[in-house]
Amino acid sequence: MLGIGGGVATAALQLAKHMGAHVIVTSSSDEKLEMAKNWGADHGINYRRSDFAKEVRALTGKRGVDVVVDCVGGDGWSKSLAALAKGGRLVTCGATAGANPATDIRRIFWNQLKIFGSTLGSREEFRQLLTFMQNSGVRPIIDQLFPLKEAAEAQRRLEQARQFGKIVLQIAE
């Protein structure tokens, strides 16, 4: 999971752990990596201090991982591909670090990688997710609740990447 502080990545962490996956997360913040471990992440890699694809390969005995959830794009895109095992899947669901990453497409076909784009999903998928959450007890990680009048402050928190989980705006009291 790239960019573990964001709401999508923290939700993906919870879902993956509930399904029994071994989860490796990345962040530029050691504090967020520790928080992710408290939520079940097995390993945390600070991508500012090391090449996360090389670290993933080391952690998996050079095999790579089956799935990468990349919510950030940018320069990390090629490393996301490099972290995948042969036949692995990359789920891309954001581009906060850039929408036009450079990549060597040969890595995709030589390693038989699959790339999936994902947005919010359909209404039916949302219903299925709600049913899953109700039955499993999995709940969104809420970083902070802001009254609507403090929406600008909430936006700043997001822009500064200080959150771990969802930012919630409360419309009425």
The CATH number of the structural domain formed by 7-122 is 3.40.50.720
**Per-block average pLDDT, block size 10, for the chain (173 residues)?**
93 95 97 98 97 98 98 92 98 92 94 93 92 93 97 96 96 85
Spell out the domain ranges in the chain.
7-122
Specify the pTM.
0.92
pLDDT at 172: 86
pLDDT at 99: 92
At 104, the amino acid letter reads: D
Per-residue DSSP letters for 42-65? SEEEETTTS-HHHHHHHHTTT--E
pLDDT reported for residue 154 = 98
Task: Give me the pLDDT at residue 17, please.
Answer: 97
- Residue that is written with structure tokens 């609507």 in the block: 148
Can you give the pLDDT at residue 6?
A: 92
